[in-house]
Structure 1
Amino acid sequence: MDTIYMNQLASLVPKGEGVEEAMAAASAMDIADIQKMADETRAELNKLFHGPGAESVVFTPGVGAALDAVIRALFKDGDHVLISSMESDDVMNALNVIGHEADNGASGGVEYTRIPCNEKGQLVLFDPLKGEKGFDAVEKLLRPNTKAVIVNHASEVSGTILQAKEIAEFARRHGLLVIVNVAQTAGCVPIFMNIWGVDVLTFSGGYGLYATEKIGGFVASERAAALLGGADMRAKFEQDPLDAAAVAGLHRAFKFIEEKTLHTLSSMGRQRVEQFIRKIQHVNGVHIIGPGYKDRIPVISIQTDFMEETELEEALKNEYGIIIQSGLHHAEEAHKTLGTYPRGTARFSFNYFNTEEEVEKLTQALWQLTVRSDKVSDVKRMPKE
C-alpha cells in the first residue's frame, strides 16, 4: 500500500527538490560559505515578502521561537495588545508568560484583548447589524496603553486567510505596531510587508517555502528594528553559529521555487483543496470547518458524525495509507473560536506534490468510512462534481 501524505503543514514530505541533499551536504561547508548562503537567503526572503531590506531578516530555530522572542522583547508591564481570536499556542503562551488577558481580574504585566472572529475564522472588523462600518468593532477595543496588533495571517486549523492588510491599515491609523505571522501563508499567497505597513513579519521555512520547519525567523521594519536592538538586532536574536543544515535547505528551496515558479506551486495546492471541498461537501456526516475553497490556503479541517478525529486519522493511515493530523494543532484559541474545542479536528494540508488522484482516493476513503458506519443515517451516494 502506497503512502499518501496530507500533513504538509506539520512536516513536508517530500521537501523541495534538492533540499534534503543540500541539508546533508551542509556539514562539510565552512563558516564563510554558510554565511554567504544565509545572506543570499535573507535577500530572497526580503524579496518574497517585499520587505525593508535583507539586513532586516533574522533567523531563529522555527517560527515559534521568533514569535516568543519578538513578543517578549517588544512589550513591557503596563502595555496593552490586541490579538486575533485565531492565534496559535505560541502567541498565547508568550503573552501569558509576560501578562494576562485584560479584564480578568489580574493586575500587572502585559494585557491583551481578543479581536473577535466569526465562525469561519475571519476577523470581525465591524457589525453591519449594529450600524457599524470600517473598523468600528475594533476601535472599541482600543485603550490609551494599546501598543500593537498581532494577527495570524492564516489559521493552522481552518486554513482561513485573515485580513492582515486591513488590520495593518487600522493599526497605522492609530500608530500601533503590527505583527503578522505568515508561517502558513509564505509562498501560498502574496505578502506585501512594506505596502501594508507591517512592522514584524514572522515566518517558517516549512510548508509554502518547501524547506524545513526547523528554521524560521522574523523581518523587522525600521521602526521595529530600533525597538529590537537596532544594529545589534541580529546578534541579539540569532543563534551563533546558525543551523547550517537548516540554512542550506532554505537556500536550496528558493532555487526550487524559482525553477517551478511561485504561481505554479501555490496554484497546485489551491486546486487540490478546491477539488477536495467540491467532493467532500456532499458526503453525509462530514462537516467542513471554516470558509469554502476561496479565502483559504490549501489547509482544511473537518469533523465527522461517524468517527472521532483520532479514530479517523488511524483508519485513514492503517486502511488507506493516507497520513493526516488530528487534534488541536497547537491552536487551542482558534478551536474555541471555530466551535471545535475541545474535540479538535481532522486536518488535511496539501501542496504542489499532492495529486488529483490522491485527493480522489481520500474522498473515496471518507465515503467508504461513512457507508459502513451505523452512526450516519440516510447515507448518500458517492458525490460527483
Structure 2
Amino acid sequence: MDKIYFNQISVTQPMAEGVAEAMASWEAMDSEKLVQETREQISTLFRGPGAEKVVFTETVGTAMAQTIRGLFKEGDHVLVSSLENDEVIGALEAIGHETGSDGRGGVEYTKIPCDKKGQLYLYDPAKDTDVLTVIRGMLRPNTKGLILNYVSEVCGSVLPVKELGEFARRNGLIFIVNGAFSGGYVPTFMNLWNIDIFTFYGGYGLLGPKEACGFIASERAAEMLGGSSMREKYEMASLNMPAIAGLHRALEFVIQKKVRFLCNNGLQMVEYFIRKIQHVSGVHIIGPGYKDRIPVISIQTDFMPESLVAEKLEKDWGIIAEAGFHGSESAHRALGTYPRGTLRFSFGYFTDIKEMERLVKAMWQLTVQTDILPSGSNMPKE
C-alpha cells in the first residue's frame, strides 16, 4: 500500500521538481553565486529589504531565539500571540517571564488571547470600539516589541499580520513575525507591513528542504543586530550548501507558480475534508472554517485517543498524520485542546482528491469499528 503523507509540515513529500537533484549536485555549482541568488529569491518572495539582510540559521527556532535575544533587553516588555510555538515561548522564558508570574528581571511578555477558532481577540464585540482596543490596552511604557506567529501550525488559522504591523508602527514596536509555515501559502509584504524580522523555513509551503532556514531583517532591525556585522554575528559558520541548493530550486518553482495559485489546491482539499468529516459523529474540527487558514487542520475524536487514530490510519490505510501538541503547548491551551492535544493533517500543493477520499473513508471506518457510535447514519455527506 502506497503511503500518503498528510503531515507535510513535518515531512514535505514530495518536494518541488528538481530539488533532490539540486541538493545532490550542488558541488558542481558556483557556491557564492548560488547563495547570493537564493538570498535574492527570499527577499523577493517576502518583499524584503534586499539580499544583504537575509541570514541563514540552523533552524527557525534558532532564528527566533537569536533575534529575540538581540533585540530585547532586561526591563523590556513584549506582546506575543497566544498561538506561538514552544521555541518562541522557550526563548522568552529563557530571558524573561510571563505577566502575572512571580519572576523578576529579564524581558516580561504578555500573551494576546485568541478564541476557539484560532483568531486573536483584537476587539470587544459588545462595545463600539476600534478593532485593536484589546491589544492597545496591553501596552505599557516599556513595551518594546510584538511577536506574532503568521499561521498556527496547530489549527491552520492565519493571523492579522498586516493590521498588527500597522499597530506596531504607530506604537514604535519592533515587529517579529514567525513565517515558518506561511511561506508559499499566504502572501507577505515585509516592507509594506512594517515587519522587522521575518523567519522562513524551506519545507512545507516552500516545497524545499526543511534544513534551509533563517530570517530577514528590516533596515532598523539589522542596525540593532549589528549593522554591517549582523550576518557575521548571527549566520551559521558553515552554510548548509545542499539545503541552500535545494531551496534555490524550490523557490524558482514557488515564485513562478505564484503563492495564491499554490495555496488553492491545499485549501480545496481542506474544504473537501471539512465538508465530509463534519458529518462524521464523534469527530470535532478544531480551528477556523474554510477561509482564513492554510492547508492545516486538527481534529479530536470521541471514539479513541488521537494517538491511536494516527496509529490505525498508518497501519490499516497507509495514511501518515501526526498526533500530539505539534510543538505548541500555548496554542493548545488557547484552543481548549490541552492537555489532550490533537490529530493534525497538513495537506499541500501535490495532495490529490483520491488521497483525500481514502482519508475520509478511513475516518468513517474508524467510527463504525468502535462500540461508542452507531453505524449506518454517520456516513459522510456533501
For the aligned pair, the TM-score class normalised by the smaller chain equals over 0.9
Q: 1:29 offset after TM fit, Å?
A: 4.1
Q: Deviation per CA, 1:146-178, whole angstroms, max 9, x where unpaired?
A: 000000000000000011111111111111010
d(CA) in 2 for partners of 1:133 and 1:118? 18
Q: Deviation per CA, 1:213-243, whole angstroms, max 9, x where unpaired?
A: 2121111111111101111111111112211
Match of residue 132 from structure 2: 135
Q: Which runs of 5+ in 2 are unaligned?
A: none
C-alpha RMSD over aligned residues = 1.3
Match of residue 4 from structure 1: 4
Residue aligned with 1:128, SS: coil
Match of residue 17 from structure 1: 17
Residue aligned with 2:111, SS: strand
Match of residue 148 from structure 2: 151
- State yes or no: 1:325 paired with 2:326: no
- Taking a change above 3 Å as real, the CA distance of residues 165 and 191 of structure 1, as seen in their structure-2 partners, is same
Residue aligned with 2:220, SS: helix
Q: 1:261 offset after TM fit, Å?
A: 4.1
Match of residue 360 from structure 1: 357
d(CA) in 2 for partners of 1:5 and 1:287? 21
Match of residue 202 from structure 1: 199
Q: After the TM superposition, which residues 93-108 of structure 1 pair with which residues of structure 2 at under 5 Å, given as runs?
A: 93-108=90-105
Q: After the TM superposition, which residues 49-198 of structure 1 pair with which residues of structure 2 at under 5 Å, given as runs?
A: 49-198=46-195
TM-score normalised by length of structure 1: 0.96
Contact 1:161 1:297 in 2 (8 A): yes
Residue aligned with 2:152, SS: coil
- 2:52 maps to amino acid: E
Match of residue 286 from structure 1: 283
d(CA) in 1 for partners of 2:319 and 2:248? 30
Contact 2:45 2:255 in 1 (8 A): no
d(CA) in 1 for partners of 2:261 and 2:115? 31
- State yes or no: 1:302 paired with 2:299: yes
Contact 2:368 2:374 in 1 (8 A): no
- State yes or no: 1:311 paired with 2:308: yes
Contact 1:313 1:325 in 2 (8 A): yes
Contact 1:286 1:302 in 2 (8 A): yes
- 1:369 maps to amino acid: L
Q: Deviation per CA, 1:152-208, whole angstroms, max 9, x where unpaired?
A: 000000000011111111111111010011111111011111111111111111111
d(CA) in 2 for partners of 1:181 and 1:305? 33
- 1:143 maps to amino acid: R
d(CA) in 1 for partners of 2:280 and 2:376? 8
Residue aligned with 2:79, SS: strand
Most deviating of 375-384 and 91-100: 375-384
- Taking a change above 3 Å as real, the CA distance of residues 239 and 384 of structure 1, as seen in their structure-2 partners, is same
Residue aligned with 2:192, SS: helix
- Taking a change above 3 Å as real, the CA distance of residues 227 and 258 of structure 1, as seen in their structure-2 partners, is closer
Contact 1:151 1:181 in 2 (8 A): yes
- State yes or no: 1:254 paired with 2:218: no
Match of residue 342 from structure 1: 339
Match of residue 215 from structure 1: 212
Equivalent residues, number: 382
- 2:345 maps to amino acid: F
Q: 1:83 offset after TM fit, Å?
A: 0.1
- 1:155 maps to amino acid: S
d(CA) in 2 for partners of 1:7 and 1:122? 23
Contact 2:187 2:260 in 1 (8 A): no
TM-score normalised by length of structure 2: 0.97
- Counterpart selection for 1:241 from 238, 243, 247: 238
Contact 1:284 1:379 in 2 (8 A): no
- 2:3 maps to amino acid: T
| Aligned residues with identical type, % of pairs | 55
- 1:15 maps to amino acid: M
